[in-house]
Amino acid sequence: MVYDRVFVLAAEMYRRDGRYYDFLVEDNNGFLHGEVRVRAIEILWRQEKVKEIVVVGGPTRGGENKAQFIAKLIAGKIGKKIGTTVVPLESKASTCGNLEAIKSYYTVGENDGLLTQFYHMPRVLRLMKEMGINLIPICAEAILLTHSLSWLEKMREWYSSPAMVQRIIMEINGLSAIEETSAEKE
């Protein structure tokens, strides 16, 4: 399948305890961050499976435009310029804010996808359903693994972390604590 457009959700910039972490690394709790999503969309682009990349994100801790920052990073990796093939879409700094921006900015087509990570997918799917957004879910880890099994051991390490298991359970079980924390940060 070739996607007309893939929305890439920029990864969160803060943890529940209020401390910040860097975008392109994993934190000490094992949470996956933007590098996984950046690498996955780069793979889809190189496989000619996406025509347009839209990076959706809220402001960084310093008030910078996270969508612009990540869009520039992706554009550099695939050899394109911002604005035509790689488009930044600024939103509120939450999953709900990301989806609201997608819904208000675009008429979503039947071949449009949304790329995020495995642990984030239950909440994204529930919110998309509640908001009436019909996008094809794309799991970043699945893209990485189909490209190279060298990611398998790293993913085993990430997903065996007790903190990550707890996060996945929270994502599946109502998600109120995660959503309330995100809303407080806006």
Per-residue DSSP letters for 75-142?
A: HHHHT--BTTTEEEEE--SSHHHHHHHHHHH----TTEEEEE-GGGHHHHHHHHHHHT---EEEEHHH
Q: How confident is the model at residue 12, as a pLDDT?
A: 54
Q: Residue 139 forms beta bridges with which residues?
A: 116
Record the tokens describing residue 80, joined without a space.
């394109």
Record the tokens describing residue 3, joined without a space.
């996607």
Q: Which domains does the chain have, with CATH numbers?
A: 3-185 (3.40.50)
Record the tokens describing residue 123, joined without a space.
């909440």
Residue with tokens 């000490």: 28
Q: Are 141 and 117 in contact (CB under 8 A)?
A: yes
Q: What is the pTM of this model?
A: 0.81
Record the tokens describing residue 143, joined without a space.
């893209």
Which residues of the chain carry a pLDDT beneath 70?
Answer: 11-33, 60-63, 174-186
Q: How confident is the model at residue 174, as a pLDDT?
A: 58
Q: How confident is the model at residue 165, as a pLDDT?
A: 78
φ, ψ at 137 (rounded to 5°): -70, 135
**Would you report the helix, strand and coil content of the chain in percent, each value rounded to 5?**
50, 20, 30
Q: How confident is the model at residue 14, as a pLDDT?
A: 45
Over the range 141-154, which residues count as b (16 or more CB within 10 Å of their CB) and which as e?
bebbeebeeebeee
pLDDT digits (tens, 9 = 90+) for 53-68: 999 988 766 667 788 8
Q: How confident is the model at residue 62, as a pLDDT?
A: 66
The dihedral sign for the CA sequence 70, 183, 173, 25: positive
